[in-house]
């Protein structure tokens, strides 16, 4: 009986010992589990902070871009803003967002006869817009093209077409003198109306003060003024267009006169040819165009 009691007591001690170890193990596992959960929560919080920081940086960049847009006066620049189109065309944005030149869809209705132009086919057009639009349509083989000859139509002179009488020999001989006088009067008038371009004001002032420079400076001014695309110190037939188209309806000798200025018939008029054509001596002709442009930027 005594032995049985001792045996039961030993079994109880062993059972309590095992239970204690099991309790410690479970407690340790729970403690470790709770630590892992806390670490995971901390990592989640750090990740959330990082994500929030990225969102803040992205938002800041958006605000900076918005500031740039406001400071630049608007949204992204219009692709057509710097895209140049020739006469009779205007710029449109294509499907890819790129600028392209297309024929103008319609020209304003013109009732003023002073807007009319006469073409090289001796046809009167309501305005230069109507003429250039037709040329564009024909160049593009558009169904609205009235005739294929208009692929090369251009303005012959401003105003409605009329009969241009032939220039007589004596008129052509006197034309340089009248042309010099006209050029000086135009330069003088532009200066008085404050419309003369800055680089040429000095030439006009000299012409006003010294009679010997009156015609010389007017001739040089007009040559520099005509030499525009490009500034290559020669005047092409294309660059002569503004003066020819403006005067032809009033001065029937302007066309043969300008043809005679091209002494070597190379379709390019040098300053020397221009000056001699207008009756200046070779020693009076000074190439001031480059100097004036360089001085005034």
Average pLDDT over residues 26-39: 48
Give the per-residue pLDDT at 79.
Answer: 81
- All residues at 6 or more sequence positions from 68 whose CB lies less than 8 Å from its CB, including other chains: none
H or E element in which residue 103 lies: strand 99-103
Question: Does residue 207 contact residue 213 with C-beta atoms inside 8 Å?
Answer: yes
H or E element in which residue 99 lies: strand 99-103
Helical residues (DSSP H) of 95-213, grouped into ranges = 128-139, 169-192, 201-209
Rounded to whole angstroms, how far apart are CA atoms 219 and 292? Answer: 15
Higher pLDDT, 267 or 62: 267
Give the per-residue pLDDT at 95.
Answer: 82
Question: Does residue 223 contact residue 203 with C-beta atoms inside 8 Å?
Answer: no
Using CA atoms, how far residue 141 sits from 128, 150, 250, in Å, is 20, 11, 36
Query: Confidence class of residue 27 from pLDDT cuts 50, 70 and 90?
Result: very low
For the whole prediction, is pTM greater than 0.85?
Answer: no
Residue 277, both tokens: 């054509």
pLDDT at 295 over 80: no
Q: What angle do CA 275, 279, 281 make, to 5 degrees?
A: 70
Rounded to whole angstroms, how far apart are CA atoms 174 and 92? Answer: 50
Rounded to whole angstroms, how far apart are CA atoms 63 and 59? Answer: 6
Residue 278, both tokens: 């207008």
pLDDT at 203 over 70: yes
Rounded to whole angstroms, how far apart are CA atoms 151 and 130? Answer: 13
Round the CA-based radius of gyration of the chain to a whole number and report it: 44
Question: Does residue 292 contact residue 235 with C-beta atoms inside 8 Å?
Answer: no
Residue with tokens 């890819």: 96
Higher pLDDT, 279 or 14: 279
pLDDT (tens digit, 9 = 90+) per residue, 231-285? 888 999 889 988 999 899 889 999 999 999 998 989 999 999 999 999 999 888 8
Residue 224, both tokens: 């520099």
Rounded to whole angstroms, how far apart are CA atoms 138 and 252? Answer: 31
- All residues at 6 or more sequence positions from 235 whose CB lies less than 8 Å from its CB, including other chains: 223, 226, 227, 268, 269, 274
Question: Exposed, middle or buried, 222 (CB in 10 Å: 0-12/13-18/19+)?
Answer: buried
How many other CB atoms are there within 10 angstroms of residue 71's CB atom?
A: 7
Residue with tokens 């099991």: 22
Q: DSSP secondary-structure letter at 118?
A: E
Residue 198, both tokens: 């800055």
Share of the chain above pLDDT 70, in %: 71
């Amino acid at each position: 009986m005594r032995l049985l009691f001792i045996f039961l007591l030993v079994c109880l001690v062993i059972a309590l010992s095992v239970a204690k170890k099991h309790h410690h193990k479970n407690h340790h596992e729970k403690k470790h589990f709770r630590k892992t959960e806390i670490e995971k929560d901390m990592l989640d919080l750090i990740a959330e902070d990082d994500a929030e920081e990225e969102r803040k940086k992205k938002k800041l960049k958006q605000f900076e871009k918005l500031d740039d847009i406001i400071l630049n006066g608007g949204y992204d620049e219009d692709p057509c803003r710097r895209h140049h189109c020739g006469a009779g065309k205007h710029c449109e944005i294509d499907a890819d967002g790129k600028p392209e030149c297309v024929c103008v869809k319609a020209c304003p209705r013109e009732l003023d006869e002073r807007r009319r132009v006469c073409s090289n086919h001796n046809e009167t057009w309501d305005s230069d817009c109507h003429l250039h639009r037709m040329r564009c349509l024909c160049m593009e083989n558009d169904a609205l093209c009235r005739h294929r000859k208009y692929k090369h139509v251009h303005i012959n002179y401003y105003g409605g077409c009329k009969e241009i009488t032939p220039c007589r020999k004596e008129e052509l001989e006197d034309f340089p003198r009248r042309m010099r006088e006209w050029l000086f009067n135009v330069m003088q008038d532009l200066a008085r109306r404050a419309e003369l371009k800055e680089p040429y004001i000095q030439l006009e002032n000299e012409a006003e003060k010294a009679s010997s420079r009156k015609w010389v400076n007017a001739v040089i001014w007009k040559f520099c003024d005509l030499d525009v695309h490009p500034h290559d110190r020669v005047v092409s037939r294309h660059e002569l267009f503004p003066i020819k188209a403006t005067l032809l309806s009033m001065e029937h000798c302007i066309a043969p006169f300008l043809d005679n200025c091209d002494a070597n018939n190379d379709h390019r008029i040098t300053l020397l040819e221009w000056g001699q054509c207008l009756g200046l001596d070779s020693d009076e002709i000074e190439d001031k165009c480059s100097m004036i442009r360089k001085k005034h930027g």
